Amino acid sequence: MTEETLVRKAESRDLEDIVAIIKDAKALLKAQNSSQWQEGYPNRASIEEDLDNRQGWVLLKDGQVAAYMAATDFDPNYEVPIWAGSAPYWALHRFAIKKDFRGQGLIQLLLKKVIAFGQENGIKSFRLDTGKQNQAVQHLADKLGFVYRGIITVTNDSVDPERRAYELLFDK
């Protein structure tokens, strides 16, 4: 039997799996002594909002929800003059993988597929941010060709609100 991987828009039936994936990611960040995602965000309400706005994405491996991310068309934290691209853009957020699937390159695959879908729909700028201690996301951003743009401040982390901001820009 061959393994099958599928990327699709997240649906309400995926909610419990996504919440569990986010919980796994929070535990991993905590074990790495990162303050990122340790104050409640992201939570069920933020995932439900992604689903309601049709901005959530899942990667299924053999029919199992293995990874999650959101691609939003606006982020108030990104309203700073550090970006090279202009609107419209997609902010890539809340990407996480179920612990059983770590180390298989699935987050990279999910990001590539969502970015390709965005490009097909006219999006030229893709942005993301991550905590200063989150070496995995920084490495992933570099690997996918994102360019470091500077430090932004987010409103959902009172312990360490500074984030490293990255952008992937395609021809204008």
How high is the pLDDT of residue 34?
87
How high is the pLDDT of residue 156?
83
How high is the pLDDT of residue 94?
95
Q: How far apart are CA 38 and CA 16, in angstroms?
A: 19
Digitized pLDDT (tens) for each residue of the chain, 172 residues in all: 346 899 999 999 999 999 999 999 999 999 998 888 988 899 999 999 999 999 999 999 999 999 999 999 999 999 999 999 888 999 999 999 999 999 999 999 999 999 999 999 999 999 999 999 899 999 999 999 999 999 999 988 777 889 999 999 998 5
How high is the pLDDT of residue 1?
36
Sign, Cα dihedral of 109, 7, 29, 73: positive
Domains and CATH numbers, the chain: 3-167 (3.40.630.30)
Single out the residue of 107, 11, 6, 140 nearest to residue 60, CA to CA: 6
How high is the pLDDT of residue 172?
58
Go through 137-159 and write b for each residue having 16 or more CB atoms within 10 A of its CB, e for each that does not.
Answer: bbebbeebebeebeebebeebee
Which residues on neighbouring strands pair with residue 135, listed in sequence order? none
CB contact set of 163 (below 8 Å; sequence gap of 6+): 77, 129, 130, 131, 132, 151, 152, 153, 154
Q: Is 28 exposed, middle or buried (0-12, 13-18, 19+ CB in 10 A)?
A: middle
Q: Token match 């987050």: residue?
A: 107
How high is the pLDDT of residue 157?
79
User: Other CB atoms closer than 10 Å to residue 80's CB: what's the count?
Assistant: 13
How high is the pLDDT of residue 2?
46
